[in-house]
């Protein structure tokens, strides 16, 4: 099977073609998926992307999915994973009712408001979600872990047990890294001289908003299926992290960890197919 994993980040399989904008691993090809995919038509048996689509502006979603359709072979499968807006909305309404009817602080309500809006409106890395995870203890820790899974556990572990850099020579980069840092410092100094404080802050905010961290749109099972159909795919079907029409899906550990647990439990999973030629 020939598989394509788009926007893979650090979760990839060596038997797949893995694409990410940074391409930090030798097993990951650097490419911005907002551009045409660098593959011929009908190349892959499977196209997969997880928590990528919501980072594209709504008007870019259809052209991107059509590119996924183009590089997929006839009879192939696309598997798309996104945050589940329907589930978030239901949990928010449940937490809202509980907050109104309970005189005690409702931490679940606070958390669901963060899930709804923070990654859309934040103006700094991590935003309000990171600030919430910095609490020790987190007042509704089990609920947060149920929503975010192992990803949240790793973030909290790093926050509570930061790595101490005792040997600075061990973390020093290459001469090219040093040169890039010098370039960035010079650019910052020049911009601060040329721009007013307000204009410089607006520039920094714009850079962050364009960095890829922000959620540009959200999907539920209805809108995601309609998007795939509009892209040419057939028979979209909601799946689970374990359930797939892709042969031996579980062995790739893309939606699950080595213990068989969901990597992102807050997800919506949908598959569709390309008609055979």
Q: Within a domain: residue 215?
A: no
Q: Which domain holds residue 121?
A: 86-160
* Strand, helix or coil for residue 30: strand
Hey, what are 21's tokens? 């904008």
> How many structural domains comprise the chain?
3
pLDDT-derived band at 175 (thresholds 50, 70, 90) equals low
pTM for the full predicted model: 0.88
Using the 3D structure, point to which of 138, 160, 182 is the last residue of a domain.
Answer: 160
In this structure, the answer to whether residues 240 and 258 fall within a common structural domain is yes
Q: First CA to last CA across the chain, in angstroms?
A: 18
pLDDT-derived band at 53 (thresholds 50, 70, 90) equals very high
Q: Within a domain: residue 214?
A: no
**Contacting residues for 223 by C-beta, under 8 A, at least 6 apart:** none
* Strand, helix or coil for residue 28: strand
pLDDT at 165 over 70: no
């Amino acid at each position: 099977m020939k598989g394509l994993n788009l926007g893979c980040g650090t979760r990839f399989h060596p038997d797949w073609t893995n694409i990410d904008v940074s391409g930090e691993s030798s097993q990951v090809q650097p490419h911005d998926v907002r551009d045409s995919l660098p593959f011929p038509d009908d190349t892959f048996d499977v196209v997969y992307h997880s928590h990528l689509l919501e980072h594209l502006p709504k008007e870019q979603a259809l052209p991107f999915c059509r590119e996924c359709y183009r590089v997929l072979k006839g009879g192939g499968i696309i598997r798309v994973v996104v945050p589940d807006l329907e589930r978030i909305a239901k949990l928010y309404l449940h937490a809202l009712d509980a907050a109104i009817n309970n005189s005690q602080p409702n931490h679940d309500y606070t958390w669901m408001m963060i899930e709804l809006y923070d990654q859309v409106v934040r103006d700094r890395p991590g935003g309000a979600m990171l600030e919430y995870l910095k609490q020790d203890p987190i007042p509704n820790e089990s609920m947060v872990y149920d929503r975010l899974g192992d990803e949240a556990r790793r973030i909290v572990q790093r926050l509570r047990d930061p790595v101490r850099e005792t040997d600075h020579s061990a973390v020093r980069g290459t001469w090219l890294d040093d040169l890039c840092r010098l370039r960035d410092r010079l650019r910052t100094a020049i911009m601060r001289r040329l721009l007013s404080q307000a204009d410089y802050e607006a520039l920094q905010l714009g850079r962050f908003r364009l960095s890829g961290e922000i959620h540009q749109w959200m999907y539920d099972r209805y809108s995601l299926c309609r998007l795939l159909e509009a892209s040419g795919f057939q028979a979209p079907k909601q799946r689970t992290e374990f359930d797939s029409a892709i042969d031996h899906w579980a062995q790739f550990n893309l939606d699950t960890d080595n213990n068989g647990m969901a990597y992102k439990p807050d997800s919506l999973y949908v598959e569709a197919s390309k008609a055979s030629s």
